[in-house]
Structure 1
Amino acid sequence: MSAPAGWYPDPTGVTGVSGERWWDGTQWTAYERAAPYAPAGMWPKVQVDTNTVWVWLVIAVTALPYATLFLVDGGGYLHGVLQSGSSAAVSGMIQWQLQTLAVSMLGWVAMGAGIVFSWLDWRELRRRGVPAPFHWAWSFFALLGGGAAVYMIGRAVVLRRRTVSGGWPPLWVWIGVTVIG
């Protein structure tokens, strides 16, 4: 039984390394063509180090808002509210609101730094030869409350598909930091 008619890699090698020749079901014909390109997303895996300093900084700034929560003195707020003197209560509430504002501002700075570090990570991966790394612009989802989740997960999946080493260690560390936080 013979293979069905169609385009197959040229067994003679006459058309070149990537050429194809028409098989009519019984014999090779004189018809030749260049082999088609691989479909989008079909990248050859490259051997490259995917651990950049920038991805670890993304993880570090992800942990920053969790650490700053310890700066808010919730007990001071309650103590100020429960005191009988109105000036002490107002002072306690103002102090608590300023602390909360400072923590919120640190969170926004951390999100901005995470976006910048994602861009630097993407740029470094491209420089190292990773074909089409996960785009850094996905890190803007942090502004919608998603944190670094979209960038970290997407980065790991794309690096797993396009590199030999993959990109799982930073993802697992990020998951650990997020769970502990």
Structure 2
Amino acid sequence: MSNTDGQVPAGWYADPDNTLQLRWWDGAQWTEHYAPNPRPPVAPPVPPAPQPTPTALPAQPYVDTTVYTQATAAPERPKLAADARIYNPWIWLIVVLPFLSILILPFWNPLSGLSIVQTPDGQFRAFAEPGFFASPFYFVLIAVSFLANVLVVVFAYLDHRDLLRKGVERPFHWAWSFFTFLSSGFLVYVIGRSVIVRKVAPGKGLAPIWLAIALYALSIVIGIIWASAIFSSLAGLMHNYGASGV
């Protein structure tokens, strides 16, 4: 701003160097006096940039990007030598011991507690003593059965250790033999052991199972004969002396 023509009076005007403030014009030149500009210039609005029109994309087939990891399977057990001895005395005892009580069952007569007495009226009556089933031989059967189960667990541990020594990796664990305290539970260890041994010694390992089956068949025959003899004796007593009072 100049004052060559004398037409610009002194006053506050927008600073030509900074429009955000006012500067004093003394009528001839700019001074060093400044003041805030109460009406700063407003920039003209800028129209928004045009947005591109979205274009529809063709439908894409669904692609499953999930990464699935395959479970790591246990390594295959190495095969044993063809002449490896996979049987030992322990496995045979494990199979035989549970049937020991069946073999001595015929020596127990649960009717031994029955007695025949003559009543004052001249008749004969059969009377059962209290707890006649719990004869000493009955407790012998219970003790033999329990001891056999304990020995099955011990022999399963020895068998497991023997298989490890012979090179069988991860043999069937001996702790499964505790099922022997349940009815026929010893077969859990026998079957598990046979399956794993057959994997490392193809064509072998099933003999204990076949022996257990044979002993089961024998025990069924013995049980039937024993039960038939007991019922025959009981029927004879009832026929001779009458069932009254039994």
TM-score (norm 2): 0.51
C-alpha root-mean-square deviation of aligned residues, in Å? Answer: 2.5
Q: Secondary structure at the match of 2:195?
A: helix
Q: What is the distance in 2 between the residues matched to 1:104 and 1:84?
A: 35
Partner of 1:131: 169
Residue number among 70, 73, 87 corresponding to 1:39 in the alignment: 73
Q: Which runs of 5+ in 2 are unaligned?
A: 1-71, 120-124, 220-246
Determine if the alignment matches structure 1 residue 51 to structure 2 residue 90.
Answer: no
Give the deviation of 1:84 after TM superposition. 5.7
Partner of 2:52: none
Structure 1 pair 128–100 and aligned structure 2 pair: CA distance change class (3 A):
same
The amino acid across from 1:102 in the alignment is V
Q: What is the distance in 1 between the residues matched to 2:117 and 2:189?
A: 47
Equivalences for residues 149-164 of structure 1 within 5 A: 149-164=187-202
CA contact (8 A) 1:111 1:147 kept: no
TM-score (norm 1): 0.68
Q: Comparing both structures, which one devotes a greater share of its residues to helix? A: 1
Equivalences for residues 40-79 of structure 1 within 5 A: 40-47=74-81, 48-77=84-113, 79=114
The amino acid across from 1:161 in the alignment is K
Structure 1's consecutive aligned runs of 4 or more residues displaced over 3 angstroms after TM superposition are 82-86
Q: Secondary structure at the match of 2:167?
A: coil
The amino acid across from 1:66 in the alignment is I
Partner of 1:10: none
* Alignment length (residue pairs): 140
- Identify which of structures 1 and 2 has the higher relative contact order when contacts are C-alpha pairs closer than 8 Å and 6+ apart: 1
Partner of 1:90: 129
Structure 1 pair 160–89 and aligned structure 2 pair: CA distance change class (3 A):
same
CA contact (8 A) 1:126 1:133 kept: yes
CA contact (8 A) 1:83 1:89 kept: no
Q: Which runs of 5+ in 1 are unaligned?
A: 1-37
> In terms of Rg, which structure is larger?
2
Determine if the alignment matches structure 1 residue 111 to structure 2 residue 149.
Answer: yes
